[in-house]
């Protein structure tokens, strides 16, 4: 069966590349109907979202991205589709104003410009508003860096202790001890 799945997927991709948009859409819809549990089903969803966008139907594209993220969340297509979904949602006035990693990188950019007060506020906001995001350990690390720049040894120690106790298995923990010197 895997050969039939790949063959059908390849034919859909080929039709899409040739500009045969309606044919490609039919093929990908058929693929999802016939092979919903296939390892390629996420690609069919992603391509259907792209087709909807190419037709100017943002609402349909958004629903295909949502279907992809809900039904195939741990796939490569979902990885790429997530950012596209967020951007499309925002452009339609529906999406989140911000996601956690944007908050972190905004703080990092402020820190790189030497704007310590603003960077500190951004990292503290990340920790408060997105306590489960993957950047919390890095936010504490950056806060320790800010404290070190200010000569605040107690602040450095406080953030390093948080990293070492709550995020011991992260890259931030590897580097955090160096800030205590």
Q: What is the pLDDT of residues 116-160, one digit of tens each?
A: 999 999 999 999 988 888 899 999 999 999 999 999 999 999 999
| 2-91 and 100-180 share one fold | yes
CA dist 103 and 6 (Å) reads 40
Tokens describing residue 132? 């489960």
Query: Regarding the domain with residue range 100-180, which homologous superfamily does it belong to in the CATH classification?
Result: Tetratricopeptide repeat domain (1.25.40.10)
Q: Report domain extents, the chain.
A: 2-91, 100-180
Among 26-35, 87-96, 106-115, 155-164, the minimum mean pLDDT is found in 87-96
**Reduced 3-state DSSP string for 15-57:** HHHCCCHHHHHHHHHHHHHHCCCCCCHHHHHHHHHHHHHHCCC
Q: Domain 2-91 classified CATH 2.60.40.2250?
A: no
């Amino acid at each position: 069966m895997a050969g039939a799945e790949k063959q059908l997927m390849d034919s859909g991709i080929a039709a899409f590349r040739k500009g045969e948009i309606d044919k490609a859409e039919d093929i990908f819809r058929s693929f999802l109907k016939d092979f919903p549990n296939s390892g390629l089903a996420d690609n069919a969803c992603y391509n259907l979202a792209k087709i909807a966008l190419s037709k100017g139907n943002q609402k349909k594209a958004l629903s295909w991205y949502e279907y992809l993220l809900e039904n195939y969340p741990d796939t490569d297509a979902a990885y790429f589709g997530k950012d596209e979904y967020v951007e499309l949602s925002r452009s339609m006035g529906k999406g989140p104003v911000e996601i956690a990693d944007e908050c972190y990188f905004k703080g990092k950019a402020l820190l790189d410009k030497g704007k310590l007060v603003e960077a500190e506020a951004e990292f503290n906001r990340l920790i408060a508003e997105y306590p489960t995001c993957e950047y919390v350990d890095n936010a504490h690390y950056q806060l320790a860096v800010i404290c070190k720049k200010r000569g605040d040894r107690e602040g450095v120690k406080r953030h390093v202790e948080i990293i070492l106790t709550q995020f011991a298995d992260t890259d931030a923990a590897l580097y955090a001890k160096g800030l205590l010197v």
